């Protein structure tokens, strides 16, 4: 297994929900399956632009931002639906909460995309097996198809996930870059849009291979420092880490373990939960983080995976507090079957240094110097209007 996980490198998945809005509509209304579906802002008047479309429409030439009127000329029988962003956000949260159960190193890139660093997940199997399991279980649980790219860095993982849609799993290694990426149009490089591609073409850079071989000076004159970075990326170089803090609403700190033998004894399971709680607590303290939401992941011997979470009224970081919530969740939702994997994750974790302490007006003397404006203001009010003018709430 070590051959799949380089000692000094990374293994990164880019997970892309295919035709996400349309797929969610089909999941919510199975009667739409096998029908062409377009998501657009004004279906009643048949105006506006295409926000999303399923593959039955895409395969007939419909694309995002196309005028709805033009799309309906290509697919007149299409079912047109107004976007329901609340439902899309809920599906996104549920899917990527499940994905984060495999590794706490998940970076939420957009509503339908995320990067997952599985470099330390040897116990879960080979990377391609992990990718296929995620793909299979998301389809089974949420009815949403995924394409997944597997690569040693974020850029190559993103490029790989775009190569086979829907429901593709693609591996792209650095040694494949010259044969796989370089012949492709420069416009297909993630991070290069139409305008930049046009400027590059004007100087004779038509393919990713042309970009990979261009001089730094030439690229800097066209794109600035970004040109140098894009050259590195199409050469397979990208040192950006997967950063869970990139999107605070999905920041998580967690750990999971796969057992050598399936577990059924409550006492043994308690011991594993205790060890996981200890690990999560230590990592939270290293990062100076706290959380109010604890999630437990249970994977059974048939690979069925269940995730459950609880949100508290206060921030926690200590092992005992994490363990108490995790045990309550586990024993409430465990069906008694053999357990293959357990995980604990502190979700929506916050850096304690960013949490502003709200000073209690009625105990502030213990914390504030008498020269502070707050102290002076409260005392002035009391002197002018009397002690009764400032009272604690709910008295």
pLDDT digits (tens, 9 = 90+) for 132-178: 999 999 999 999 999 999 999 999 999 999 999 999 999 999 999 99
User: pTM here?
Assistant: 0.66
Instruction: For residues 8 and 128, state if they share a domain.
Output: yes
Catalytic residue among 25, 26, 113, 327: 113
Q: Is residue 93 part of a domain?
A: no
Which phi and psi (to 5°) does residue 221 adopt?
-70, -25
Domain match, 74 and 114 both: no
Distance in angstroms (rounded) separating the CA atoms of residues 151 and 143? 25
- CB neighbours (10 Å) of residue 390? 13
Boundary residue ending a domain (173, 196, 211): 173
Residue 116 confidence class, pLDDT cut points 50, 70, 90? very high
Q: Which domain holds residue 57?
A: 22-86
Is residue 358 reached through a cis peptide bond, with omega within 30 degrees of 0 on the bond before it? no
In this structure, the answer to whether residues 45 and 60 fall within a common structural domain is: yes
Q: Give residue 377's pLDDT band: very low, low, confident or very high (50, 70, 90).
A: low
Question: Are 223 and 150 found together in one domain?
Answer: no
Do the domain assignments include residue 108? yes
**One domain, residues 273 and 315:** yes
Domain boundary pick from 86, 116, 140:
86
Q: Is 372 a catalytic residue?
A: no
Assess if residue 260 is contained within a domain.
Answer: yes
Sheet strands (E) in 197-288: 252-263
Tell me the pairing of strands 146-151 and 169-171.
parallel
In a shared domain, residues 284 and 294? yes
Contact 186, 205 (CB under 8 A): yes
pLDDT of 42 above 90: no
Cα(141)–Cα(204) distance, rounded to whole angstroms? 48
Q: Is 112 annotated as a binding residue?
A: yes
Tens-digit pLDDT profile for residues 254-267? 888 888 889 999 99
Residue 94 lies inside a defined structural domain of this protein: no
State what percent of residues in the chain have pLDDT above 90.
Answer: 63
Whole-angstrom Cα distance, residue 326 to residue 347?
13
Domain of residue 76, CATH code: 3.40.1170.60
- Cα–Cα dist 130/286, whole Å: 28
Q: What confidence tier does 120 reach under pLDDT thresholds 50, 70, 90? A: confident
How many Å from the N-terminal Cα to the C-terminal Cα in the chain? Answer: 64
User: Is 16 known to sit in a ligand binding site?
Assistant: yes
Is 96 contained in some domain?
no
Instruction: Return the percentage of the chain with pLDDT > 70, whole number.
Output: 86
Average pLDDT, the chain: 86
> Could you tell me if residue 244 is inside a domain?
no
Same domain assignment for residues 146 and 228: no
Dist. CA 210–CA 188, nearest whole Å: 13
The domain spanning residue 292 has which CATH number?
3.30.1490.100
How many distinct structural domains can be found in the chain?
Answer: 5
């Amino acid at each position: 297994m070590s051959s799949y996980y380089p000692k000094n490198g990374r293994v990164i998945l880019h997970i892309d929900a295919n035709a996400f809005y349309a797929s969610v509509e089909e999941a919510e209304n199975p009667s739409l399956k096998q029908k062409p579906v377009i998501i657009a802002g004004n279906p009643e008047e048949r105006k506006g632009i295409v926000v999303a479309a399923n593959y039955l429409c895409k395969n007939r030439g419909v694309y995002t931002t196309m005028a709805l009127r033009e799309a309906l000329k290509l697919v007149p029988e299409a079912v047109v639906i107004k976007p329901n962003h609340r439902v899309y956000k809920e599906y996104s949260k549920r899917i990527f909460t499940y994905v984060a159960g495999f590794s706490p190193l998940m970076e939420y890139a957009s509503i339908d995309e995320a990067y997952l660093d599985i470099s330390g997940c040897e116990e879960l199997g080979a990377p391609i097996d992990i990718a296929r399991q995620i793909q299979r279980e998301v389809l089974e649980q949420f009815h949403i198809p995924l394409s997944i790219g597997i690569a040693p860095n974020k850029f190559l993982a993103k490029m790989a996930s775009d190569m086979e849609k829907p429901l593709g799993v693609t591996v792209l290694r650095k040694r494949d870059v010259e044969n796989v990426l370089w012949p492709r149009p420069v416009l297909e490089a993630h991070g290069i849009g139409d305008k930049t591609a046009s400027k590059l073409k004007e100087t004779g850079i038509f393919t990713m291979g042309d970009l990979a071989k261009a001089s730094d000076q030439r690229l800097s004159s066209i794109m600035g420092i970004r040109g140098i970075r894009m050259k590195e990326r199409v050469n397979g170089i990208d040192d950006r880490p997967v950063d869970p803090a990139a999107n605070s609403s999905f920041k998580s700190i967690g750990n999971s373990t796969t057992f050598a033998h399936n577990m059924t004894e409550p006492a043994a399971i308690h011991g594993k939960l205790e060890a996981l709680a200890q690990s999560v607590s230590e990592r939270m303290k290293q990062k100076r983080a706290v959380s109010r939401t604890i999630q437990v992941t249970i994977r059974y011997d048939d690979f069925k995976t269940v995730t459950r979470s609880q949100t508290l009224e206060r921030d926690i970081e200590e092992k005992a507090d994490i363990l108490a919530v995790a045990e309550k969740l586990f024993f409430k939702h465990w069906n008694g079957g053999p357990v293959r994997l357990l995980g604990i994750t502190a979700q929506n974790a916050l850096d304690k240094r960013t949490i502003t302490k709200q000073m209690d007006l009625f105990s502030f003397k213990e914390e504030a110097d008498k020269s502070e404006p707050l102290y002076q203001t409260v005392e002035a009010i009391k002197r002018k209007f009397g002690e009764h003018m400032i009272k604690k709430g709910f008295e």
